[in-house]
Amino acid sequence: MGSNRLGQRDRSPTASSLSQRVPYAAISLPGNAVTPKPTYRWQPTTAEVAERFGLLESQIVRFDHNTSPNDTAWAAGIVSPVARGLNEYPGASYLSLRRAAGNYVGIDEMNIVPGAGIDELILLVAKAFLRPESQATAVVPTYPLYEIATTQHGADFVPVEQTRLNMFPLDAFSEAAETSDVTWLCVPNNPTGERIDDEAIRRILRSAKGLVVLDAAYAEYAGDRWAAWVNHYPNLLVLHTLSKGFALAGIRVGFGVGNTATIGELDKVRPPGSIATLSQFLAEKALAEPQRMLRAVEGISKERARFTTALSDAGIAVLPSTTNFVLCHFGPHAGDLANLLLTEGLIVRSYPQEHQLHTFLRFTVRSSVDNDRLVAAIRRHS
């Protein structure tokens, strides 16, 4: 059966096809189909989905962005003084932000480079270290921006395919890293949620010819602290964000941790003022008061366990996760189910037919009420 267009329920898949009770460990992943030069796939906005299906924006739940369900009411009362000075540009050096980030991860501010989220930092790495004759590698499936950033600069992207879930191809990836100018490594991995062990990371660092970019977007959920490693591995750059554990996706702030030479190269290509004044202010406050984040992460991690059990009880194969999302196997009609959920205002992450994960859906861990609503909707359509 082909994919349904949104809203065409008369062609919805059968109950047996939507929820395939297959243990995740037994699921093999097909190779990626040959595709044109990659571009980023934008998701519809909350307002667009509400308007399309005649819903209120308050009825829309984003299970696709891997953002926090916790609001940021704490920030509302502290931005007024800063808001009076928005007629001026932010200071381009972001020295106070570097200092706050350094204090948070326990390293000198000279080892910090700021960016407008990890996304900007990924693009800066590609701009600084990749050329048309260069090579970059990553294990796929993973965050698509690595390949996009690589090919934007004319470099060759060498994907190392993970052919079986939760079986990281360490030998093949280490070999690819030996000839790569940039090695992209997402730990825990998005979208699979797996966390390879530290010894595997060390092996990749020892094997790599060039820079190893360790994307630690979900480090707060996994309890990872790699900043001190840059003192032992000069080819390591660790990327952090305030979008996930800190629940500040809307301010678009991230930072990289590396040796001073790497930081210097990134500063050469970093645009001035890409982080807004209000964003810088809120990021510094959040980094200085991590207890709020730690409480939120603990709560979301507990809800992830409960949510996983509820999905499993519904007959869904759920992969283990150390993040704020879970990846679930639904079989060949996963995209059809995603479309049906969308009509109810439940936006989940699906994958196109040519993708390795086209039989999977990824769900962000939201509040218990929202998560129960999603499970109930899946049961109805199964």
Q: What is the pLDDT along the chain (382 residues), one digit of tens a residue?
A: 333 333 333 333 333 344 444 455 556 666 665 456 777 777 889 999 999 999 999 999 999 999 999 999 999 989 989 999 999 999 999 999 999 999 999 999 999 999 999 999 999 999 999 999 999 999 999 999 999 999 999 999 999 999 888 799 999 999 999 999 999 999 999 999 999 999 999 999 999 999 999 999 999 999 999 999 999 999 999 999 999 999 999 999 999 999 999 999 999 999 999 999 999 999 999 999 999 999 999 999 999 999 999 999 999 999 999 999 999 999 999 999 999 999 999 999 999 999 999 999 999 999 999 999 999 999 999 8
Q: Does the 88-288 domain belong in CATH 3.40.640.10?
A: yes
pLDDT of residue 33: 52
pLDDT of residue 26: 52
CA torsion angle 270 274 277 281 (round to 10): -60
- What is the pTM (predicted TM-score) of this model? 0.90
φ, ψ of residue 92 in degrees (nearest 5): -70, -20
Spell out the residues 6+ positions from residue 226 whose beta carbon is closer than 8 angstroms to its own: 201, 214, 216, 219, 236, 238, 257
pLDDT of residue 16: 37
Asked if 9-63+292-380 and 88-288 have one fold, the answer is no
From residue 111, alpha-carbon distances to 231, 258, 259 in Å are: 10, 5, 6
Per the CB < 8 A criterion, the answer to whether 344 and 25 are in contact is no
φ, ψ of residue 222 in degrees (nearest 5): -90, -10
Per the CB < 8 A criterion, the answer to whether 333 and 18 are in contact is yes
Domain ranges for the chain: 9-63+292-380, 88-288
Closest CA to 103 of 271, 283, 264: 283
φ, ψ of residue 16 in degrees (nearest 5): -70, -25
Type of residue found at 256: G
Q: Does the 9-63+292-380 domain belong in CATH 3.90.1150.10?
A: yes
The radius of gyration computed from the CA coordinates of the chain, to the nearest angstrom, equals: 21
DSSP assignments along 15-65, one per residue: HHHHS----GGG-B-PPPPP-SS----PPPPHHHHHHHHT--GGG-EEESS
